[in-house]
Amino acid sequence: MIDAVGNPKNLLLLGGTSDIALAIARRYAETSKPKVIIAARPGARRDAAVAEVEGYGLATQVIDFDAAVEGSAESAVRDAFTAGDVDVAVVAYGVLGDNENDWTDPLAARRLAEINYASAVEVGVLLSNAMKTQGHGRIVALSSAAGERARRSNFVYGSSKAGFDAFYTGLTYALADYGIKVLVVRPGFVKSKMTKGLKPAPLATTPDAVADQVVDAVRAGKEQIWSPKLFQLVMLVLKLVPRPIFRKLPF
């Protein structure tokens, strides 16, 4: 159970090699000692993530999870909850893709959509059912500001995040009667492994900054945050820009 000051006993990271997910574990380690369940594909990155989390003084459990493999999500969530109640589950996986390839290659486009959206929906349903059974829990869904309005430079990725965002926003309503809260997180450009080599966009943030907001928001019982907070205003303005002008903007 989450304690009186908002610290989880068991923290599940689906996409446990994510820089933001690891930063969330690091933030919790500053005030408590949750067990961290790292669900990710086997390999050097997962090994490094486990070593990093254990370096914070936290116990770990490792579970195989590959969003591109049928049945992997079901077995991963089952194994995570079999070991005990999951207080906070972070849905932190996804692929950025290559927009110029993805919008012309049907297989690449489908793979991105299946990982970022279809698999995430499956995971959301699985987490919801498991948390309803245990009677409590928090879901943190890492969405993206890219889903707010399609841009020429990343509209394939943005479209998948738009669907992701709509689904997890809907879960905030559907799970409210069960006492389970869902936090939808909408970061802008995050300086991380996923964006390595890309030019940072204005208001670029860091995994640690996002993690700080996430942990505070979970404790406050919030359902939606932007990171950084100013990005909400920026996107509100951009949504009002007429299409002929918006499509000419240099991003």
User: Is 157 annotated as catalytic?
Assistant: yes
Both tokens of residue 45? 């990155």
Coil vs helix vs strand at 155: helix
Find the distance separating the first CA and the last CA of the chain, reported in whole Å: 44
- The beta strand positions in the chain, using DSSP E, are 10-14, 35-40, 60-64, 88-91, 138-142, 181-187, 224-227
On the CB side of 41, how many CA atoms lie within 13 Å of its CA? 10
Residue 77 CA to residue 73 CA, distance in Å, equals: 6
DSSP state of 35: E
**Max CA distance (Å), the chain:** 54
Handedness of CA 143, 148, 153, 157 (dihedral sign): positive
Cβ atoms within 10 Å of 56's Cβ, excluding its own? 16
Q: Which of 117, 157, 173, 178 is catalytic?
A: 157
Q: What ranges in 175-249 are assigned the alpha helix state H?
A: 207-220, 231-240, 243-246
Which of 38, 33, 32 lies closest to 13 in space, CA to CA?
38
Q: Would you please indicate which residues are annotated as catalytic (active-site) residues?
A: 157
